[in-house]
Amino acid sequence: MNTQPLQTLPLAFMQRASKSYGDPANPVHALREITTEIHDGEFIALCGPSGSGKSTLLNLLAGIDEPVSGQVFLMGNDLAKLNDRQMARLRADAIGFVFQFFNLLPVLSVFDNVYYPLMLNGFRRHEARESVMHIIEKVGLIDHYKRQPGELSGGQQQRVAIARALVKNPRLVVADEPTGNLDTRTGEEIIDLLLAMNQELKTTFIISTHSPILRDRAKRVLLIEDGRIKDDFINA
């Protein structure tokens, strides 16, 4: 019998997870036997050179891609055992995504971009209004909720994307180079916002980055090189 209390289970757990691409006879090894745990409330910077496997790791974690060997557990689920529908459900309920190039819908207003994931989850506009406006306010865009993404700065667009990731109150937010397309100062404002959201909402963040600032300010740093975990430490 498993007597381990539920709350001590990690939010995510990878066990010797490997991923390679291309011709099996001559594969590119993107990740080599990654074993790591992520716990609720963590704020992790995933660092490492270009091509080291950061995006691949995030994709495995979020069930967007599957390992060729090893296992990924997310919120008590062995991802290999979920069918596509169950995986899509888990993603829709529990994971928010933030990308380097924002990926906003250009013809929709800020409000509707943030509402979008709730719409997909079956909420009507009027039902969602309070949560949408609340998170838009939290990311500092209340004056701009009627604008379209094209009428906003890069940093403001990334705030919209962060609001969209957080609106359904996910347990985990996966961000792939969220400051990669922003100047240093704007990037730092986004880092402040992500840290504040981690503090306030207790959302867990794992964020791939080339930013030394984010690396210094994250609670935990996971450093990968050539598909392997090179270092894993808590910032003082």
Ligand X SMILES: Nc1ncnc2c1ncn2[C@@H]1O[C@H](COP(=O)(O)OP(=O)(O)OP(=O)(O)O)[C@@H](O)[C@H]1O
Does the protein bind ligand X through residue 187 (CB under 6 A)?
A: no
Select from 53-61, 73-81, 88-96, 103-111 the region that touches ligand X (CB under 6 A): 53-61
DSSP state of 32: E
Per rule CB under 6 A, count of chain residues that contact ligand X: 12
Q: Are 19 and 56 in contact (CB under 8 A)?
A: yes
> By CB under 5 A, which span of 36-44, 55-63, 104-112, 190-198 interacts with Mg ion?
55-63
Is the CB of residue 35 less than 8 Å from the CB of residue 84? no
Candidate ranges 1-9, 52-60, 78-86, 143-151; the one touching ligand X (CB under 6 A): 52-60
DSSP 148: -
Chain center to CA of 225: 20
Q: Does residue 55 interact with Mg ion by CB under 5 A?
A: yes
Tell the smallest beta-carbon distance from residue 59 to ligand X (Å): 8
Cα of 169 vs its chain's centroid, Å: 13
Of residues 109 and 181, the one with the C-beta less far from ligand X: 181
56 touching ligand X, by CB under 6 A: yes
Closer CB to ligand X, residue 56 or residue 113? 56
Stretch that binds ligand X, among 54-62, 115-123, 181-189, 211-219 (CB under 6 A): 54-62
Q: 61 near 207, Cβ under 8 Å? A: no
Applying CB under 6 A, does 21 fall inside the site for ligand X?
yes
What lies within 8 Å, CB to CB, of 91 at 6+ separation is 62, 63
Assess contact for 166 and 135: CB atoms under 8 A.
yes
Q: Is 28 in the site for ligand X (CB under 6 A)?
A: yes
Q: Nearer Cβ to ligand X, position 14 or 135? A: 14
Angle between helices 125-138 and 154-166 (to 10 degrees): 130
Contacts of 71 (CB under 8 A, 6+ apart): 13, 14, 15, 16, 17, 78, 79, 80
Instruction: Please tell me whether residue 54 binds ligand X under the rule CB under 6 A.
Output: yes
Residue whose CB is less far from Mg ion, 112 or 176: 176
Number of helices (H) and strands (E), helices first, in the chain?
Answer: 7, 10
The count of chain residues that interact with Mg ion, using the rule CB under 5 A, is: 2
Closest distance of CB 205 from ligand X, Å: 17
- Rounded distance between C-alpha atoms, residue 188 and residue 205, angstroms: 16
Contact residues: ligand X, CB under 6 A: 21-22, 28, 30, 48, 50-56
